[in-house]
């Protein structure tokens, strides 16, 4: 699972669109914006109700499908994080302003991750 997570994250960061990217690559964040919450929702649903997976997939199939869903999630995450930071860097010509913006974005991202973890913990533990 961790190997798929790393492959997804690194490949997502490598494919993040830049100003020199082609039109197809520049549309990847739109796809990532759909894939990321979809994969997250699937993983939460299967954690809350494990019969969702066991009713549909055999053990061997689930052992392949779940890591692939994690890989898609982290691909989208890596691409979106890199795309946002690259976009923020291009918003201003001042290096100091770009660093401040990146720092603020990093803080907001950490607070969002903390909030998502608390909410996910509550969902999995209280609705299970």
Dist CA 124 CA 78 (whole Å): 25
Smallest Cα–Cα separation from 74: which of 82, 62, 63, 64?
A: 82
What is the rounded average pLDDT for all residues in the chain? 90
Separation in Å, CA 56 to CA 5, 59, 61, 68: 23, 10, 9, 16
Instruction: Write down the pTM of the prediction.
Output: 0.81
Which tens digits make up the pLDDT trace of 61-105? 999 999 999 999 999 999 999 988 888 888 888 888 888 988 899
What percent of the chain is helix, strand and coil (3-state, nearest 5)? 85, 0, 15
CB count, 10 Å around CB of 76? 25
CB count, 10 Å around CB of 31? 12
The pLDDT of residue 19 is above 80: no
Smallest Cα–Cα separation from 28: which of 72, 69, 73, 76?
A: 76
Which contiguous run of DSSP H or E holds residue 13? helix 2-14
Instruction: Return the percentage of the chain with pLDDT > 70, whole number.
Output: 99
Q: What average pLDDT does the segment 36-44 reach?
A: 95
Separation in Å, CA 123 to CA 22, 29, 55, 94: 40, 27, 21, 43
DSSP state of 50: T
């Amino acid at each position: 699972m961790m190997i798929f997570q790393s492959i997804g994250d690194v490949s997502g960061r490598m494919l993040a669109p830049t100003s020199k990217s082609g039109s197809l690559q520049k549309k990847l964040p739109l796809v990532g914006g759909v894939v990321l919450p979809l994969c997250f929702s699937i993983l939460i649903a299967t954690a809350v109700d494990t019969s969702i997976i066991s009713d549909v997939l055999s053990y061997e199939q689930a052992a392949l499908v779940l890591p692939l869903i994690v890989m898609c999630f982290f691909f989208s995450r890596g691409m979106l994080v890199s795309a946002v930071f690259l976009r923020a860097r291009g918003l201003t010509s001042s290096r100091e302003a770009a660093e401040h913006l990146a720092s603020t974005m990093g803080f907001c991202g950490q607070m969002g991750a903390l909030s998502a973890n608390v909410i996910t913990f509550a969902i999995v533990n209280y609705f299970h």
